[in-house]
Amino acid sequence: MKNNLLTILAIFIFAALILTACGGSSEPTYSAEDVAAGGVIFAATCSACHGPDAKGLPNLGKDLTTSEYIRDNDDEDLLQLLIGGRPSGHELNTTGVDMPPRGGNPSLSDDDLRTVVAYMRSINQ
């Protein structure tokens, strides 16, 4: 009887450990297609201010490769930032320069911008 209880306890602990391990790796993964499509959009629309290497351009756009904002926010938050932009009067704006809605390209759909989020994840350290 005592042995059975110990076995059940051991199974519980084991299951809890596995669940914890899986929970820690719940980060979304991005398909190579999305990253590539986002890179094409980035080069066409975002690089004008953020630079072709996404390292930023003086008085235009911030360095996205080292951006803590990208690192610390989830995909939905990043999508909302891209949709709405960040005007110079916004509380999070640090440069006094506008980040335009949809990067200034209204023809980009939300799904287009999702691929750009995937691309930003791939370049952000």
The verdict on 93 binding ligand HEC (CB under 6 A) reads yes
The verdict on 118 binding ligand HEC (CB under 6 A) reads no
Question: Of residues 50, 118, 121, 123, which one binds ligand HEC by CB under 6 A?
Answer: 50
- CB 111 within 8 Å of CB 102: no
Q: Provide the CB-side half-sphere exposure for 6 (13 A, CA).
A: 3
- CB 123 within 8 Å of CB 30: no
The verdict on 35 binding ligand HEC (CB under 6 A) reads no
- Cα–Cα dist 75/85, whole Å: 15
Q: Which region among 6-14, 15-23, 24-32, 47-55 touches ligand HEC (by CB under 6 A)? A: 47-55
Q: Radius of gyration over alpha carbons of the chain, in Å?
A: 21
Interface with ligand HEC: number of residues (CB under 6 A): 25
**What residues make contact with ligand HEC under the rule CB under 6 A?**
45-46, 48-50, 60-62, 64, 67, 69-70, 81-82, 86, 92-95, 97, 99-100, 103-104, 116
